[in-house]
Amino acid sequence: MSQNENRKVKKEHSEAREWIQSIIIAVVLAFVIKMFLFDFVLVQGSSMHPTLENGDRLIINKIEYRLGEPDYGDIVILNYSSSVEYVKRVIAKGGDIIAIKDQVVYVNGEPIDEPYVNTDPYGDFPEVTVPEGTYFVMGDNRANSSDSRFTSLGFVDRKDIVGHVFFRFWPFDKFGSVS
């Protein structure tokens, strides 16, 4: 093999090695980002109408709640079971007293301002204290939402909150931050 041919073979091997290394680094970075930092979610159902609609595609921040706690009004993704995730809004935290009377939500005796709620009628909820380490969550479409008012979901443990919804990237006409 001539010296030029030998250089050409070495260059091809070097390029192939660089490509393989780049692909491996990209896959590892994508895995780390998806597992620990951000994730994509598809809204299925109408429980968050009018804020979110069926088919909306969202980006969630997973690291935010590793460093801090969910706040009042945050839209969060919950692990309901191994195969089901819910999107809901944080209404109350551990230690808060919550009640719903005549479609007004009271937290610690004070009505909360909820301009995002669908106006369809929904029922009252008796006064309860949210246990420490848990959250009371509700959908914005109160008349059509399985949320903390019902025993099927109930109070949500901190460990079951996956991340904070912060951005909608589909549909394009609603592209932007979510609150």
Catalytically active residues are 47, 88
Identify the three-state secondary structure at position 32: helix
d(CA 124, CA 26): 51
- Phi first, then psi: give them for residue 13, nearest 5 degrees: -65, -40
**Can you list the alpha helix ranges (DSSP code H) found in 55-157?**
64-67
R_g of the chain, CA atoms, integer Å? 23
Torsion from C-alpha of 147, 151, 156, 157, nearest 10 degrees: -170
